Structure 1
């Protein structure tokens, strides 16, 4: 990934283009998510913010910041874990695809990958055929990352 200042600078410009503002507190929360190897809860972000800045930030402020960052497509909320990750495409100028999150059940590392429109279309059809309505096409898959597999040769496809 690019260096932190470059990513934050890109996010700042993106917010300005959209008519928003990336305040210092928003930058700090986004920075904590970018620096993290895993998804973080609002309370983990509060602790990280306090460690970094030496000052407290109220939980409601963090939730408002996360709502802003999520609406700006700079972070994603993992619904199953109720945690947040920085978007891996902050510095990309292309339209965001439907994200799929691979979440390591051992170390909580998260990797964002894109899902093809064909796959999402197939999922929508299956959901409709089951008499349901799709609320969000975001996929979260529990996995074990290669760093956490003790002996990769023992794992089979």
Structure 2
């Protein structure tokens, strides 16, 4: 069994535990995200599923599927790019910090990292002192990945 199959099995267990189902179409969309190192838009996912599995998915269906997967915390929506990535912690059985996203400005590769709760608490205090209320603790940081950095040297 490859890593994608293992992650999908974990996602299926997660859905079953929450009283939902990971349908075949949901699996196709989630698989497309799992196998991509880049964040994908709904339309990029449609093209990827067509290319990899010769399956046609309607845009409205993909948006509904992405909403479902996001509500189940199986994918993350990158707000600035309006794209999605699979959660890197689908198969984990332990708690994580707040997810943050490193996005390569050259190749668009995305890496999910976690920030410690203490760091987030300190940030929350700073935001509060500035007279603001933090709505979402998600950061999307523009970076350059090691592969792209190696090609520029």
Q: Which residue of 2 aligns with 1:79?
A: 79
Structure 1 segment 5-154 matched on structure 2, within 5 A: 5-150=5-150
* 1:58 Cα offset (Å): 1.2
* 1:151 Cα offset (Å): 6.3
Inter-partner Cα distance in structure 2 for 1:53 and 1:14: 24
* 1:40 Cα offset (Å): 0.4
TM-superposition CA deviations, 1:59-112 (whole Å, max 9, x none)? 111111001111111100011111100000110011242101110000000111
Structural RMSD (CA): 1.4
TM-score of the superposed pair, with normalisation by structure 1:
0.92
* 1:131 Cα offset (Å): 1.1
Inter-partner Cα distance in structure 2 for 1:101 and 1:19: 29
Inter-partner Cα distance in structure 2 for 1:72 and 1:151: 38
The ranges of structure 1 where at least 4 consecutive aligned residues each deviate by more than 6 angstroms after the TM superposition are none
Structure 2 SS opposite 1:148? helix
Inter-partner Cα distance in structure 1 for 2:113 and 2:75: 14
Structure 1: which 5+ residue stretches go unaligned? none
Inter-partner Cα distance in structure 1 for 2:93 and 2:150: 38
TM-superposition CA deviations, 1:34-65 (whole Å, max 9, x none)? 00011001110011112223232111111110
